C-alpha cells in the first residue's frame, strides 16, 4: 500500500509539472502529451541502462577495453536499451546556461533510436517548440520518479497521463489503465512460461511486461522464452507500447489496426483448425456498440458462433480470444460482469462455448479496482488442454470480498491475497502451489488471513462456501448457462450478508438492468423496422 500511495503522490506531482505546459503554451493535450511522455521514457531508459551496467560490474579499465558493440550487446542481453552519452537524461540536466535544451533533447531522442532498432521512429522530436525554462523545469521534476516502485511504473504513469490529458480535453477521462494486480493475477493463472502471447487490445503493453516479469522470476530469460504480438487502433498507443517493451528489454510485433476489422496476425489460422497463440491476455473495451458486424459475419474462423444480434461487442471479443488459441492454449481477460449472464444471442454463444469445454475458471472481482470506473468486473479464463479430471467442469471463485482498501476510491490486492487466489486455481488443476510472487513481493498489508494452508490445510482443492466451487456443465445448464460465480459459490455457513456485499450485488444488478434495458430498446427498434418493412410490402 505504501508503494501505491507513493506512486499516486508521484503521479499528481508529475501531472502538476506537466500541466504547466498547457497553462503556459496554449498547446492542446494532443500536442504536448507525447513530448512529455518522451521525457519520462528517456529518464526510464537511463534508469534501466544504469541497472544493467551495475549488474555487469567489472572494473572501469576492463569496460574501457571492451568495444562499444560488445558493451551494447551485453547491456541489451540484460534487458535494457543501450543509451549513448548524447542520450543520457543526466547529461541534459547538466547543459550549460544558454544551451538550446529543445534541440539537445531532439538529438538525444535521435541518438537513442539510432542505437535501438526496436524504437525506430517511435520517439517524439518536437522539443524546439518549447521554451528553455519550461523544459528545464520538466527535466528537473521528472528526476523525482522512483522507477523501483514496480515493474510497470512507466506504463502506469503513461496511462495516468493519458487519462488526465483526455479530461483536460473534455473527453471524460479516456481509456482506463488495467490495474497491475489484476494483470499479475491473470499472468499467474495462465502461467506464460514459454510461447507466443497475443494481446489484441494491448494499450501500453502492461500484459507483456507482467508476463516477462513472471518468466524472469522463475529464472528464465523472457527474451528467449516469449514472442510478443499486440494490436492497438491508434498510432500513438502503438508507439508507447513499443517504448514500454524496449525499456524492459523486450522485442515485440505491435501493429496499428482496429482488431474488429483487421487481423494482421491471422490469429485463428493455426494448425488443425486451432489458433496461432499459446496465450491470449487482454482488457478489451467493454460494451462497445455500433460495431459494423456485417463486415465480420463472413469470418467464421475468428467468430465461429456468429455475431451477437444485440448492439454489444463483448462476445465478439470473447470469441476472438478463444479462436486465437492453439490446441493447448490458455487465455485470461477482463470482462464486464454483464457478459456472464447476458441473454438472447449472447447466451446462445456462451452456451456453445461452455458445451465446447472452453471455459476453465471464472473469478468475480470487487468494485473500485480501476482508477476511473467503480463497477466490478469478472476475469475469464480459457484452457484448451484441461487435465482429464477437469474436463466438463468450471472453477468459480467469488473474490469480491478479497481486497485491500488503498484509498476511499481505490482497491487492490496484497501479494498474499493475489498469491492465495492464484493458488486456488493451481490446486484445482492438481498442480503444486507456487509462492514465487509472494516471496518476491513482501507486503506490509499481508496479515496471514489469506495464507493458502489456512483455507486448504491438506494442500488439496475443496469447494468452500462463499469462496470457490467447481461446477459441472450439467450444473451450469441448470443455472441457464450463467457464468456468474455468485450463482454457484453461495454464502459461507453462518455468515450474514453485510452492507458491503449488498452494495456489490446492487452494483452488479444495476449493470445487468442497464444491459437488459439496452437489449429491450434494440428489440423494440428491430420490431418497429420489421413492421415498417411488412407495411411497405402490403
Give the chain's mean pLDDT: 86
Amino acid 223: pLDDT: 85
Ranges 78-92, 183-197, 371-385, most confident: 183-197
Q: Give the pLDDT confidence score for residue 260 in this predicted structure.
A: 96
Contact status, residue 350 vs residue 308, Cβ threshold 8 Å: no
Which of 46, 434, 381 has the alpha carbon at shortest distance from 182? Answer: 381
Task: Evaluate if residue 83 carries a pLDDT over 90.
Answer: yes
pLDDT in tens, 317-355: 999 999 999 999 999 999 999 999 999 999 999 999 999
**Residues 6+ positions from 105 with CB-CB distance below 8 Å:** 39, 42, 92, 127, 135
Residue 228's SS3 state is strand
Half-sphere exposure of 56 (CA within 13 A, CB side): 22
**pLDDT category of residue 170 using cuts at 50, 70 and 90:** very low
Query: Can you tell me which residue has the cell 506490509?
Result: 444
Give the mean pLDDT of 268-289: 94
- Give start and end residues of each alpha helix (H) in 324-463: 345-355, 415-428, 436-440, 452-455
Neighbours of 105 (CB within 10 A): 28
**pLDDT, average across residues 465-488:** 96
Name the band, by pLDDT with cuts 50, 70 and 90, for residue 173: very low
* The pLDDT value given to residue 503: 58
pLDDT at 497: 47
User: Measured between alpha carbons, how far is 172 from 220 in angstroms, rounded to an integer?
Assistant: 42
Note the pLDDT of residue 318: 97
In the chain, count of helices (H) and strands (E)? 20, 11
For 118-157, what is the HEC assignment?
HHCCCCCCCHHHCCHHHHHHHHHHHHHCCHHHCCCHHHHH
Per-residue pLDDT tens over the stretch 408-461: 888 999 999 999 999 999 999 999 999 999 999 888 899 999 999 999 999 999
Task: Tell me the pLDDT tens digit for each residue of 108-150.
Answer: 999 999 999 888 888 999 999 888 988 998 899 888 888 777 6
The crossing angle, in degrees rounded to 10, of helices 29-56 and 132-141 is: 50
Range name among 19-33, 188-202, 387-401, 458-472 with the lowest pLDDT average:
19-33
Instruction: Judge whether residue 190 has pLDDT over 60.
Output: yes
Q: Is the pLDDT of residue 489 over 90?
A: yes
Q: How far apart are CA 531 and CA 538, in angstroms?
A: 11
Residue 97 φ then ψ, to 5°: -60, 135
Describe the strand order of the beta sheet including 277-282 as a list of residue ranges: 252-256, 226-232, 195-199, 277-282, 325-336, 377-383, 359-365, 393-399, 468-472
pLDDT of residue 506: 63
Question: Residue 28: CA atoms inside 13 Å, Cβ hemisphere, count?
Answer: 6
Give the pLDDT confidence score for residue 389 in this predicted structure. Answer: 95
**pLDDT for residue 498 is more than 70:** no
Please name which of 332, 294, 299 lies closest in space to residue 311, comparing C-alpha atoms.
294
Amino acid at each position: 500500500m505504501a508503494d501505491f500511495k507513493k506512486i499516486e503522490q508521484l503521479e499528481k506531482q508529475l501531472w502538476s509539472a506537466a500541466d504547466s505546459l498547457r497553462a503556459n503554451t496554449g498547446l492542446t493535450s494532443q500536442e504536448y502529451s507525447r513530448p512529455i511522455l518522451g521525457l519520462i521514457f528517456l529518464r526510464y531508459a537511463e534508469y534501466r541502462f544504469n541497472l544493467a551496467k551495475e549488474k555487469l560490474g567489472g572494473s572501469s579499465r576492463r569496460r574501457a577495453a571492451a568495444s562499444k558493440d560488445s558493451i551494447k550487446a551485453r547491456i541489451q542481453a540484460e534487458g535494457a536499451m543501450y543509451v549513448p552519452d548524447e542520450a543520457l537524461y543526466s547529461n541534459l540536466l547538466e547543459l550549460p546556461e544558454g544551451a538550446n535544451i529543445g534541440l539537445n533533447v531532439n538529438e538525444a531522442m535521435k541518438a537513442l533510436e539510432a542505437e535501438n532498432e526496436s524504437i525506430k521512429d517511435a520517439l517524439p522530436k518536437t522539443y524546439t517548440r518549447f521554451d528553455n525554462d519550461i523544459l528545464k523545469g520538466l527535466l528537473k521534476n521528472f528526476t523525482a520518479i522512483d522507477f523501483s516502485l514496480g515493474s510497470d511504473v512507466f506504463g502506469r504513469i503513461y496511462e495516468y497521463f493519458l487519462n488526465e490529458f483526455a479530461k483536460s480535453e473534455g473527453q471524460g477521462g479516456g481509456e482506463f489503465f488495467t490495474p497491475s494486480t489484476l494483470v499479475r493475477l491473470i499472468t499467474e493463472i495462465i502461467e506464460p512460461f514459454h510461447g507466443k502471447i497475443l494481446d489484441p487490445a494491448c494499450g501500453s503493453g502492461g500484459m507483456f511486461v507482467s508476463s516477462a516479469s513472471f518468466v524472469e522470476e522463475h529464472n528464465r530469460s523472457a527474451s528467449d522464452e516469449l514472442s510478443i504480438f499486440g494490436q492497438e487502433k491508434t498510432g500513438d498507443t502503438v508507439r508507447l507500447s513499443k517504448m514500454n517493451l524496449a525499456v524492459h528489454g523486450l522485442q515485440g510485433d505491435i501493429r496499428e489496426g482496429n482488431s474488429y476489422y483487421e487481423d494482421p496476425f491471422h490469429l485463428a489460422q493455426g494448425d488443425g483448425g486451432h489458433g496461432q497463440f499459446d496465450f491470449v491476455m487482454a482488457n478489451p473495451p467493454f460494451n462497445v456498440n455500433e460495431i459494423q458486424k456485417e463486415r465480420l459475419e463472413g469470418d467464421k474462423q475468428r467468430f465461429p458462433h456468429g455475431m451477437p444480434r444485440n448492439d454489444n461487442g463483448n462476445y465478439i471479443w470473447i470469441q476472438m480470444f478463444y479462436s486465437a488459441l492453439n490446441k493447448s492454449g490458455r487465455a485470461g481477460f477482463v470482462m464486464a460482469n454483464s457478459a456472464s449472464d447476458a441473454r438472447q444471442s449472447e447466451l446462445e454463444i456462451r452456451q456453445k462455448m461452455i458445451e465446447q469445454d472452453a471455459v476453465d475458471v471464472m473469478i468475480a472481482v470487487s468494485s473500485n479496482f480501476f482508477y476511473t470506473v467503480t463497477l466490478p468486473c469478472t476475469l475469464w479464463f480459457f484452457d484448451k488442454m484441461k487435465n482429464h479430471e477437469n474436463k466438463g467442469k468450471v472453477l468459480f471463485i467469488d473474490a469480491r470480498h478479497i481486497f485491500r482498501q488503498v484509498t476511499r476510491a481505490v482497491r487492490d490486492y496484497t501479494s498474499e491475497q493475489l498469491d492465495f487466489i492464484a493458488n486456488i486455481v493451481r490446486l484445482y488443476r492438481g498442480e503444486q502451489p507456487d509462492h514465487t510472487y509472494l516471496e518476491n513481493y513482501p507486503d506490509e498489508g499481508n496479515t496471514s488471513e489469506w495464507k493458502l494452508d489456512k483455507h486448504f490445510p491438506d494442500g488439496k482443492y475443496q469447494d468452500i462456501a462463499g469462496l470457490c466451487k467447481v461446477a459441472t456443465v450439467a450444473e451450469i445448464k441448470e443455472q441457464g448457462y450463467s457464468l456468474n460465480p455468485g450463482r454457484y459459490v453461495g454464502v459461507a455457513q453462518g455468515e450474514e450478508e453485510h452492507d458491503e456485499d449488498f452494495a456489490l450485488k446492487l452494483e452488479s444488478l444495476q449493470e445487468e438492468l442497464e444491459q437488459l434495458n439496452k437489449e429491450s430498446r434494440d428489440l423494440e427498434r428491430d420490431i418497429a423496422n420489421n413492421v415498417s418493412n411488412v407495411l411497405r410490402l402490403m
